[in-house]
Structure 1
Amino acid sequence: MTIKLLCIGKTDNKSLISLITEYEKRLSFYVKFTFEIIPDIKNSKNLSEAQQKQKEGELILGKINTTDALILLDENGKQHDSIAFSNYLQKHMNSGIKQLVFVIGGPYGFSEDVYKKSNGKISLSKMTFSHQMIRLFFIEQLYRGFTILRNEPYHHR
């Protein structure tokens, strides 16, 4: 199985980029992982919130295959602790899907079309974090999940 993380907009913070790269490298020992950035919509300040979500949604859906499982990182999604999230990953690996795609949307969330296409929603916290920091937090949790599945000492129970 491949895990893909799709994000809207680039990260400018060199410290975050360095940490994200470190966890991507660690994660590669456990699973094929791809991290893809969809560029910000040009002239978005001239668009309404709904128009921006619609345009971003079209770009997101253009990156999804019909056989992918699409999971949205959404504030209204189900929350898991790290052990439950590792079990969530294992369940998807056991299901036989080829690619599990997680998506971090733009500043206004997702379009209705993206919600309709999705196979689920998860939330990392009730708190709000920047879209740039969520990337690091999520990739770290993926790594943590795989170390839990392998009974490795990274996660102290």
Structure 2
Amino acid sequence: MHWRIITVGKPGHSWVNEAVQMYWKRLNRHGRFEHVMVKEAARPQVEAQITQLCADALRVVLDERGRQMRSVELARWIQNEEVSARKRVCLIIGGADGHSEAFRDAAHVRWSLSSLTMQHDIALVVLAEQLYRAYSILRGEPYHRE
């Protein structure tokens, strides 16, 4: 499966890039993972660009009001998408302005990493780690312990 993780704006800290690259390197044996940064602009422009980038993909908006899952549930969700022959998934992390209600409503799925509001750099690292954890669960690797 091809995973496209989209964020608005460049990460503000070097440790974010280091952490995310480490997880992408680990994850690339499970699928294709790419991080696309959309330049900050007016929300309608940003959302139009993201919509284009995700035209033929399942669009998952990360939002504090979305569905929260345990790591094992996320692993099952990924497994179900792979079994259904899903080819592409876009995971979308908003910028400082978040997502408009219309953009959230147009998404196929809404996830929440936490009921807390997160700065988008931190959300990106948490998302990368949880994807790695989910694939580790699916493969029976010892990374995840319940």
Whether the aligned pair in 2 keeps the contact of 1:3 and 1:33 (CA below 8 Å) is yes
Residues 16-95 of structure 1: pairs in structure 2 closer than 5 A: 16-41=16-41, 52-65=42-55, 67-95=56-84
Name which one, 1 or 2, has greater alpha-carbon Rg.
1
Whether the aligned pair in 2 keeps the contact of 1:53 and 1:106 (CA below 8 Å) is no
Deviates more, 1:139-148 or 1:16-25: 16-25
Whether the aligned pair in 1 keeps the contact of 2:59 and 2:109 (CA below 8 Å) is yes
Q: Shift in Å at residue 94 of structure 1?
A: 1.3
Q: Structure 1: state its 5+ residue gaps.
A: 42-51
Q: Shift in Å at residue 73 of structure 1?
A: 0.3
Percent identity, aligned pairs only? 28
Aligned partners of 2:23, 2:11: CA distance in 1, in Å?
Answer: 15
CA RMSD of aligned residues (A): 1.3
Whether the aligned pair in 1 keeps the contact of 2:39 and 2:46 (CA below 8 Å) is no
What SS does the corresponding residue of 1:62 show, helix, strand or coil?
A: helix
Aligned partners of 1:126, 1:113: CA distance in 2, in Å?
Answer: 20
Aligned partners of 1:88, 1:141: CA distance in 2, in Å?
Answer: 12
Runs of 4+ with >4 A deviation: none
Aligned partners of 1:101, 1:68: CA distance in 2, in Å?
Answer: 6
Q: 2:9 maps to which residue?
A: 9
Q: Shift in Å at residue 128 of structure 1?
A: 1.8
What SS does the corresponding residue of 2:110 show, helix, strand or coil?
A: strand
What SS does the corresponding residue of 1:19 show, helix, strand or coil?
A: helix
Q: 1:49 maps to which residue?
A: none
Deviates more, 1:147-156 or 1:103-112: 103-112
Q: Shift in Å at residue 111 of structure 1?
A: 2.7
Q: Structure 2: state its 5+ residue gaps.
A: none
Aligned partners of 1:25, 1:57: CA distance in 2, in Å?
Answer: 28
Whether the aligned pair in 2 keeps the contact of 1:72 and 1:104 (CA below 8 Å) is yes
**TM-score, length-scaled by structure 1:** 0.87
**TM-score, length-scaled by structure 2:** 0.94
Aligned length: 146
Q: Shift in Å at residue 113 of structure 1?
A: 4.3
Matched, 1:143 2:132: yes
Residues 109-148 of structure 1: pairs in structure 2 closer than 5 A: 109-148=98-137
Q: Shift in Å at residue 114 of structure 1?
A: 2.4
Once the two structures are superposed, residues 99-139 of structure 1 have per-residue CA deviations (whole angstroms, 9 ceiling, x without a partner) of: 01110012222134423431010000011221111101101
